[in-house]
Amino acid sequence: MSPLTPVIGPEAIEARVRGLAREIDAHYRGEPLVCVCVLKGAFMFFADLVRHLQCGPELDFIRLASYGGGTSSTGKVRFMHDVETSLEGKHVLVVDDIVDSGRSMEYLLNILSRRGTLSVKLCALLDKFERREVELKVDFPGFPLKEGFVVGYGMDYGEHYRELPGVFEVKP
């Protein structure tokens, strides 16, 4: 196991997640919405976020290939599991754990927006906006993050640490 440094605690996450839910409710109220969880990293964030939503969204899940065991992006993404809900005539909110280079989300949002959606927007718990390699905006960002590799609250390093209730930096 590697040494972990606390970055964001459970209370701060809880408060921010409630705030995000209010922003999302205000934006989509009365509109047909599908919230799409990007597995596996966003599972805990997604579960906490959607339980605070009042707008009655449909929920679905998608899976892209991850980094594998390492900590740097190859820039390549694979589509491993697709949504099972029709997205046609609906707003889509993709919920991810962390946006780094932005390549995975650029790929995913492009695919989803070709399915007759009303809109496709992105919510991410963490936004490493300074590391962006493509033009991609997180519409509903949780926290900005400078650099470093983080784990916990759904995010892993070699499939470990996903269960932690807070976000930690790991020094491999």
Binding footprint of ligand 5GP on the chain (CB under 6 A): 41, 66-67, 73, 96-104, 149-151, 155-157
Two tokens at 82?
């697709």
Quick one: 25 or 107, whose CB is closer to ligand 5GP? 107
Decide: helix, strand or coil at residue 4.
Answer: strand
Q: Least CB distance from residue 31 to ligand 5GP, whole Å?
A: 26
Name the active-site residue from 100, 127, 139, 156: 100
Residues of this chain that interact with Mg ion (CB under 5 A) are 41, 97
CA 153 to CA 34: how far, in whole Å? 22
Among 21, 38, 20, 59, CA closest to 141: 20
Quick one: 140 or 149, whose CB is closer to ligand 5GP? 149
- In what helix (H) or strand (E) does residue 144 lie, and over which residues does it extend? strand 140-144
The question of whether 156 is a catalytic residue gets the answer: no
Residues catalogued as catalytic: 100
